[in-house]
Structure formats: C-alpha cells, structure tokens
Amino acid sequence: MPSLHVFNRRTIFAGDDLQPTVWMNSSFRVFQCVLLLIPLVVHNYYETRFFVKHALENQHNQPDSPTIPYFSYLFGGSIYPNECSSGAHYFPLLQSVYQASTLFHITISLVFELIIYKISGLGTPTQPHSRLSLGKVIEKKWIWLSIVGNVLVCVFAAMSLKYMNDYSTCRESIEEQKDYYTDNDYLLFGITLWLIVFILLFLSQLLEGIVSAIALGSFLRKEKAFAFITQNYYDMNGPDLDTSVHEHALMGSRYNAHHHELAEEMWSNRCRNFCKCAAFSTCYLFGGRELVDGVVGDYGQISRALADYFEDGGVLDLVPSDLAAGFFMLQRVQRQRVLEARQKIDEEMKQGRDIGDLLRTSSSSTVGSDMHNFSLNHDERKITSALDDDFNHSQHSSSLFTERVQDDFNYTMSHPMDDMLTSVLHPMPYSRTILLPNGNQSNYDYNGISPKNTSALMLRKKSSRSVNDSRHWYEAQERKVFDRDNEIDRNIIAEGARFARHALSIYTWLLYFYMHPFSSIPYLLGSRVKDCCQSANDASNINDFDVQRGDTSCCNTFDSSTNGDNWLHIHKNALLAHSGLDKSDLVYANFSNRYNEMPYCIVIDHKWQSVVVSIRGTLSLEDCVVDVLVDPEPLANLGDEFGFDASDQYCHSGVVACVKNIMRDLQRHNLLDTLMSGVGAKYAHYKLRFTGHSLGAGCATLLGYIFRQRYPDLRVIAISPPGGFLSWRLATECNEFVTSFVLDSDLVPRLSVSTMHVLRNEVLDLIGRIKVPKMKVAQTFVCNGVCKASKEDDDPEKIAEENASILHPKNEVPTETDFQRQMEKFQEIQRRRREMRGEIMKLYPPGKIIHLVKTGEESSIKNHITKCMTCCTSNAGNQYTPVWSNNADFNEIVVSPTMGFDHFPNRVCVELERVANSFGIDTSIGSSVQDREDGERARITSQNLL
C-alpha cells in the first residue's frame, strides 16, 4: 500500500509490488538481445564480408582495405554490381538503423527497469513516501518506451522490408557469377536463420507496442482517482471522528460510490456476474443454468455481509499483495504463538510435573528475550503469548481486535465465545497438540510419541473483552485422546469411517472421476452395459419397490428408484461404486440439484443394520449460493411443528431452506415410514442414520432433530459440518445423537461471519506492523515455504527471530502514517456499522466433535515429492490422532496450505478409514451375504419379540 497511481488513476498494484515484474521484463529484454538481436548482427557482419570480398575481387584491390567498400555497402556505390537495383543498398542501411535502434531501446528499457527496481525496494508497505516518484517513472516508460519506442523500431523494420526483394535479387546475381558461393552452407543457413529471427523480433516489438497502446487506452478510460480528493479532505479536517467521519464517508461515497446501499448493490452484481462466468466457463458442468437465466439466486444476504465486511468509507487504500503479505505473516504468527506455548509446557513436563499440577499451579517464566510470557493458574489456566503480550500497550490500535459478540450461552470454561482452537496450525512434522502420556512422566516424548496416550493439551486462543485491551493468550485445556482398547472409542471411529463412505457416495460421478481419473469412465460405462445385458428376471437386480411399481426391466432408461439421473445411470452407478453396495440396497436417490434442493439418497446398510439417508454437500454453483445465505433464521416455528424446543435458537438459513425441500420430497414418497414404521415394514428393526458432508452435514443434523420424535434411536454422522450453523444450545443438546468429524485444519468448521471479522482484523493489524519491504516478506515465504519439513522450522526461537525482523513490536508501530490514520477511520466506520446492524450472532458446529489432529508424518521421498508437486496441499504421509473437541474449539481460522483441501469429502473419508485400520477395525465397503443373513435373522427375531 498505497495503490500505485498512474495518470491519476488507481491501479491494483502497490509501488513495492513491481520487483517481480522488473525481473520478468528484464528477462524478456535479455531474450530479445541475446537470442534475437545478436544473430541479426552476426548475419549483418557476414553479409558485409560477402559484398566487400566481391567488390575487392572486381577492383583487384587488397583484401585488407574494407573501409570504403563497407561505406558503399550501406550507402550505395561500386560495391554493388551494375545489374543490381539502385535501391538495394537501402535494405542493409535500414536494417543497421533498425538493429542500432533496437539495441538502444533495449538498453534504455533495462535502465528504466533498474530505476523501478531500486525505487520499488524502498520503504515499507505502510511508509511509501520514498516511492512517490514511481508513478511518473511508469508513465514515461509506458509512453516513450513501450509505445513510441516500439513503434519507431517497427517503422525502421517495415521500411527495410520494402527493399528486401531488391537486395535478395542483387545477392543472387553475385552468387550466380561466383559458383563457390553457392556451396557455402553457412551462408544459406545464415539467411534462413536471419529470416526467422527477424520475424520473431519484429513481431515481439509490434505486439508489445499494440498491447501497450490498447492497455493504455483502456486504462485512461477509467475514472480518475478521486480518493486523493477524499483523502485530502480527511487530512484537512483532521481525525475528529465523533463529529465528521459520517460526513467524510458520505463525501467519499459521492466520488467513489462507497455509500453502503450502493456497495450492497455492487457486491450483489459481482456475485451474480461471478456465478454466470463460472457457469459459462465450466460449460454448466457444475450447474448454474438457473443462476444464468436469473430464475433463482438470492445474493442479498451475502452482498450485505460483504458490504459490512469491507465497509471502509473509501479510506483504506490496500492492494491484493498487501493482503497476501498479511495472511502469510498471520500464518507465521499463529505458528509462533503455539510453539512458544508448547515449548513452555514441554519444559514444565520435562521437570517431572504432574498434569494436574500443570493445570492448577501458578507459574511464570520467560522464554527468549522477553518474547514470551507464560502463566497457568487455577482460575483461567492461560498461556500468554509474548508475540502479542509484550507489544500490546499501543493505544492507537487497541480497539482493532475488540470487536466481540454477545454471549448467547453460559459455559463452564470462562467465555468460550472468544475461544479459538490453534492446536494444529499447519502440517508440520511435529504435532501442535501435545499428547500426554500415562503414568511415569519419563515416558513423555517431545514429539508426542508414547506407548499410549489417553489425553492431550489443546491450546485455545482467548482475547480480552476490554475495549482498551487487545491482548491474546492461550488457554491450555485437557482433551481426551481416543483409545484403541476402549470399545466405545472404537465404535465411534468405526461408525465415522463407515458412514463417511456413505456421505462420499452421494457426490456420485464427479468425485468418482476425481478420485479415479483413468478407470472411472470405463467402469461406469461398463456398469451400464452390464445392467443392460443381465436378465430381467434376475431377482438380485430388482429393487423391492420396483416390484411394487411393476418396473422389472433391467435396461429401461427410466429407473423408478432414482430421480434426476441420465439414461446412462451414471449417478446411480457411481453412488454404488463409492459405497460398494448392491443395486438392491438402493431404495431411492434424488440426484436433482437445483437452488435450495440438495441431492440425497436412501440406502440399506445391512452390515450396520441401518437405513441411511445421505445428503450431498456443496458441489454446484447453486449450492454455493445456498452456502452464502448467512443470515441466521429462527427455528421456533420448525421446532413447534416437529416437536423439539427451538425457542430463541437460530440456524444457517440456507440449511433450513434445503431441509424443507428434502422434507417435502420424503413426505411425498413416504419411504421412511414404509421402510421402518409402516404396516409390514421390512426394516423396522434397523436404525435410522442421517449422514452428510459440509452443507449436507448441516441438513442431516437438522433432519435428525425433526425425525427424532418419531425415531428416538436415530443417529447423525456429520462429516466436516459448517461452523456457522446452529446456536449454542441446539449445537450442544444434540450431543446424544450427533457425532461430527473434523480433519485437521479444515476451513469450513471454523468459517463464520464472526471468525471472518477476526481474521480481517488480524491481517490488517499485521500489515500495519510490517517494517521491511514487501519483497522481504515474499523472500521469507519462498525460502521457508509454508510447510518446510524440518525440525528447525518448529524452533520457536528461530521463528520468533524471523518474525521480529519483519514485524514492529506493537508498542513501536509508527503512529504518524497514512495507514494508521486510515485504520482509525476504518475502525470508527466499522463501529458505526455494528451499531446499526447489531452484534453478530455466533453459530457453532453441531454435536460431539472428533478432531483428527495431525500428530506425525512419514518421511519418504515419495511423500516429499508429492507435497512439492502439490505446493504442500497434499496430506501424503500425514498421521492423524482422533481427539475429542467441543463446539467452541473451532473459532479461529487456521491459515494452512491444507485448510481448503482438508475439507474434501474423499480426504476425510480416506483418513477416517486409515485411523480405523490403525485401530484394527474392518473398513471394507458394501454388505456381504453374511451381513444380509444377519439382518434377516435380526428381523425375524424382532418380529417374534413383538
């Protein structure tokens, strides 16, 4: 920051972003010079020798006097035979001028690049005064070099082409007179090479000039940057926020359309256009036809949330690279905080202290050069990280992190509304969750490896609720680690692994193709051919409900058990391939995916004697629009209708809309009653289980509340449920029947409006604290990477030293900068927005939560190559340990390379199955003949008991 202004127009770049472009432009100039221009000069040299030698032979002169013939070669004379045209000499003359002007153009361009490089490396992101001249340098380079310079050299090249034919004719006549010249392969090859090189050089210059001119014309059509006027107005009126910031914001909106209502409309249009572009660019592979046609699509809630989130009255002047630098530093700050806290706990445990004493007894010490302060006490058991604690006395930014929401519940562990899990920041070789050993403390291993771990310390980030206190600290809380010898723990892991497969199956062919890119298409097509070739009388291929409907044709394009499938039945076959079930186990599947309509299926799992309802998560563009229906919706009416207490409770409104549509479809077909509770129900002795992933997990949980009055023993397995989902009471009251699974640093269970606000504030604060050029931050990112697999990268002192070399201490942040003045105005504008909108309601993921924490990594060449090729987004070789967590543990967005990919349903399913295998649990898919026989015996036994 601030953004670079060229011709009084704002760009999306800052002055300190240009060093990478300098390297690219310089490389291009060197390429032009070395690979294109130099071959032309060499060719010109040999052509001169050719004509000079011919002229000297004709004049019977000595071959060591080439001066006069060379002059004649460029300007005409006796060097050319009489049969040559009078204009033949213009070609080498213009070519020489062209080559000289190209060399001059390249040299001046490199000089400009050097100037830009030097200026761009001055100052810091928030102190740009030494870069103010950069805009004028860019203007001169853009006009005089990129446009005028390229046009001039292209004119010389084009003029020389006019005389190229005369020159070629003259040369051919000389070669005919001297037979030995025609045998010279080098000259022939030299001419061919010259033609290719000349065309490439000419086209590169011509295209550069044309593209630069078009870009300049398009850029000049933009409105001038009135932000200068607004900023000057702020500067002249001073920081009297209480009396004039509203008028300031109104003035900014007059020039830059920052008025909030206009901002909402702008964000709504952006979201709508993005969906249309995404639909067109993917050829509707991920849906979007309804959004393009404008039939459906409510962007009001997300546009309102985005307008509130980015509301700055036009005062913040940031560019994308500033935010990237802030996110990278946040990742490193998060890592430092946890490692410092972990180091202190490790020191305490190596001294032989008991875990209970560690949580009860007060102690404090300092790690490093007053970089860390650690304390544990009975009341708060808090670990105060030095990264924020010793830098928290600055008053100018003290209110940045004080945005808090009203508690809507009471919890025994001291204000969990501000608690944010940071036990696992990032896929590193050593765990951020500290596994605690049993018995003798000497068995403790720093890497969390012990013969048997039954508990762990989870580090929760807490923030002060005081307006004048922006401190953050960590609260150490003990969590139970799953025990492979505990039957209850084994059953929970087995259930999660089994029904994560069902949640995966409803994603059908797109995810099946993603997981099996080479074998998926032959398999799915072969499955359809196999269905058509089988006998229509094969009872094993006929669904019980098909018999009732009278549909027994195996190759019928209409399948009464499905809705929304194509004639190849590709969705159905992919679902069965994912789950390993037989066709007869599929009762019903609705693959229709429209706005507020989620695909789901009903299958029979004989191995677990369950009727399973699987609901798909987000996959299509319509689903994405449902995801952003972020306004909480009251559930009181829904609770009254279906018999559960939801007074003063709220839910993600997109989930509520989808559940209502699923309920209508279930009631229309009446399948659950027919299967489980109707007269002659075949599976009355089976359990009803709802499962889903992401948005589908939210739908499954709410359906669990709805059906629990009718089926008290139902179970819900929620895979990677959304974080901003339910109010606290409903999120925790469903512990009896809802079990949620979260993989490592998954973003979605942590994602909510409130956590996004905290993330924004932390990133802005870190941008203001950067004290080095932005390229220094980028260099640290490139050199260290985001997941460097080395023990040194887990050294808190090393990371603290690197962070201290990049960031100002909080009490030393320069206050008299444009950015800090902008931040004060921004905070005031945000405060006014909160007063107008009201406090943000916090929502939570549901049920009992099992967190698969990364506690190790297999070191192998294969894993390292995989991580390198995937930019560290792969989890190859990662080892996970299941740990109990609670609903308030996921209130911080953890910046990690895997934060998005940990949400993929296939990754969660595979890792759950691996954990189950490590517990000695069978994770084979499908239902065997023995499972069916066991289910039939259970049915008969149940009927006899009745």
Given this model, what pLDDT does residue 501 score?
A: 96
377 vs 893, residue with greater confidence? 893
Is the pLDDT score of 153 beyond 70?
yes
Given this model, what pLDDT does residue 815 score?
A: 83
* Confidence label for 225 from pLDDT (cuts 50, 70 and 90): low
Is the pLDDT score of 857 beyond 50?
yes
Is the pLDDT score of 775 beyond 80?
yes
For the residues 602-619, what does the mean pLDDT come to?
A: 96
Is the pLDDT score of 663 beyond 90?
yes
Judged on CB neighbours under 10 Å (0-12, 13-18, 19+), 540 is exposed
Give the closest residue to 695 by CA, choosing from 597, 611, 602: 597
* Token pair listed for 609: 């004697």
Is the pLDDT score of 234 beyond 80?
no
Is the pLDDT score of 440 beyond 60?
no
Dihedral (Cα; 399, 404, 406, 412), 10-degree rounding: -110
* Confidence label for 248 from pLDDT (cuts 50, 70 and 90): very low
Given this model, what pLDDT does residue 450 score?
A: 39
For the residues 103-115, what does the mean pLDDT come to?
A: 94
Give the closest residue to 614 by CA, choosing from 527, 686, 684, 703: 703
Does the model's pTM come out above 0.85?
A: no
Least confident range of 273-277, 550-554, 621-625, 872-876: 550-554
Long-range contacts of 320-324 (CB under 8 A, 24+ apart): 320/12, 321/13, 321/14, 321/16, 321/17, 321/774, 322/1, 322/14, 322/125, 322/767, 322/774, 323/763, 323/767
Cα distances from 756 to residues 215, 271, 723, 747, in angstroms, run 36, 18, 11, 11
β-pairing, 562-563 vs 586-590, is parallel
Per DSSP, 481 falls in state: B
Per DSSP, 808 falls in state: -
458 vs 912, residue with greater confidence? 912
Is the pLDDT score of 341 beyond 50?
yes
Given this model, what pLDDT does residue 510 score?
A: 93
* Confidence label for 358 from pLDDT (cuts 50, 70 and 90): low
Q: What tens digit of pLDDT does each residue of 793-807 get?
A: 567 888 888 899 999
Give the closest residue to 390 by CA, choosing from 811, 782, 788: 811
Q: What tens digit of pLDDT does each residue of 720-732 get?
A: 999 999 999 999 9
Is the pLDDT score of 405 beyond 50?
no
* Confidence label for 329 from pLDDT (cuts 50, 70 and 90): very high
- The distance from CA 558 to its chain's CA centroid, rounded to whole angstroms, is 40
Q: What tens digit of pLDDT does each residue of 63-103 get?
A: 554 455 566 777 776 677 777 777 788 888 899 999 999 99
* Confidence label for 389 from pLDDT (cuts 50, 70 and 90): very low
Q: What is the DSSP string of 103-172?
A: HHHHHHHHHHHHHHHHHHTSSBTTB-GGGTTHHHHHHHIIIIIIIIIHHHHHHHHHHHHHTHHHHHHHHH
Q: What tens digit of pLDDT does each residue of 188-223 get?
A: 444 567 888 898 999 999 999 999 999 988 888 876
Is the pLDDT score of 359 beyond 70?
no
* Token pair listed for 561: 């058990």
Task: Give me the chain's average pLDDT, please.
Answer: 78
611 vs 444, residue with greater confidence? 611
* Confidence label for 50 from pLDDT (cuts 50, 70 and 90): confident
For the residues 756-763, what does the mean pLDDT come to?
A: 90
Is the pLDDT score of 283 beyond 60?
yes
The reply to whether omega before 427 is within 30° of 0 (cis) is: no
* Confidence label for 559 from pLDDT (cuts 50, 70 and 90): confident
* Confidence label for 278 from pLDDT (cuts 50, 70 and 90): very high
Q: How many whole angstroms separate alpha carbon 391 and alpha carbon 470?
A: 10
Given this model, what pLDDT does residue 236 score?
A: 37
413 vs 643, residue with greater confidence? 643
Q: How many whole angstroms separate alpha carbon 639 and alpha carbon 706?
A: 8
Is the pLDDT score of 443 beyond 60?
no
160 vs 533, residue with greater confidence? 160
Q: What tens digit of pLDDT does each residue of 456-499 get?
A: 777 766 665 544 455 666 677 778 899 888 999 999 999 999 99
Q: How many whole angstroms separate alpha carbon 252 and alpha carbon 262?
A: 12
* Confidence label for 419 from pLDDT (cuts 50, 70 and 90): very low
Percentage of residues in the chain having pLDDT higher than 70: 75
Given this model, what pLDDT does residue 840 score?
A: 83
Given this model, what pLDDT does residue 259 score?
A: 61
Is the pLDDT score of 118 beyond 90?
yes
Given this model, what pLDDT does residue 782 score?
A: 80
Is the pLDDT score of 366 beyond 80?
no
The alpha carbon dihedral of 9, 15, 17, 23 has a sign of: positive
Angle at 574 between CA 572 and CA 578, to 5 degrees: 120
Given this model, what pLDDT does residue 768 score?
A: 92
Percentage of residues in the chain having pLDDT higher than 90: 38
Q: What tens digit of pLDDT does each residue of 675-701 get?
A: 998 777 889 999 999 999 999 999 999
Considering only CA atoms, give the Rg of the chain: 35
Q: How many whole angstroms separate alpha carbon 168 and alpha carbon 175?
A: 11
Q: What tens digit of pLDDT does each residue of 822-844 get?
A: 888 888 888 888 888 777 889 99
